[in-house]
Amino acid sequence: MRLVDEADVKLERASVEPGRELELAVRILLAEIGEDPQREGLVDTPQRVRRMYAELTAGYHVDPEALLNGACFDVDYDEMVVVRDIEFYSLCEHHLLPFYGRAHVGYLPRGRVIGLSKIPRIVDMYAHRLQVQERMTQQVAALLMERLEPKGVGCVIEATHLCTMMRGVRKQQATMVTSAMLGTFRRDGRTRSEFLTFIGRPSE
């Protein structure tokens, strides 16, 4: 088996096309774990991994301004708006293993609402980055609070993390739940309870 050595790395890095260094890194990884990067089943793996990471980390290249442009509307409506069970997939920044689950997002308008499809897109924008669930929950809520200026925003995320299922403690049934409550959702227990009821979670 021929492994990748330092000379190979330096030579290839010097002539690599922009954006292709990930393929080189994958070949090095394959060699380091004891595989042959030239084996038939692995020859195209670096290219596939590059394309996969481009898709799974596309959120870094999404402009929130462009995402929300023209999607906020003045509407005489002041009752709670909730979008629940938004499925998502993300990558844990600690081990680059997936975590996946559902996000539930609600807000209390102050004369402005956002197009329905935009809330799942906001979730996807932040999910398609290297993440920790706690930060992702806060980011979704904070963006809506900043751009819509509602009375309040609530975001609850429930997810399963493969880094706790496949390695380490190896707990197959463990689910992580995080929440971000801003504005009225944080100050008013009745508003918070209404939101939690809408998403099917106990309010206490």
Tell me how far apart the alpha carbons of residues 184 and 13 are, in angstroms, rounded to a whole number: 53
Catalytic sites, residue numbers:
92-95, 133, 161, 163
Helices (H), the chain: 6-15, 21-32, 45-56, 64-68, 118-127, 133-148, 162-165, 184-187, 189-198
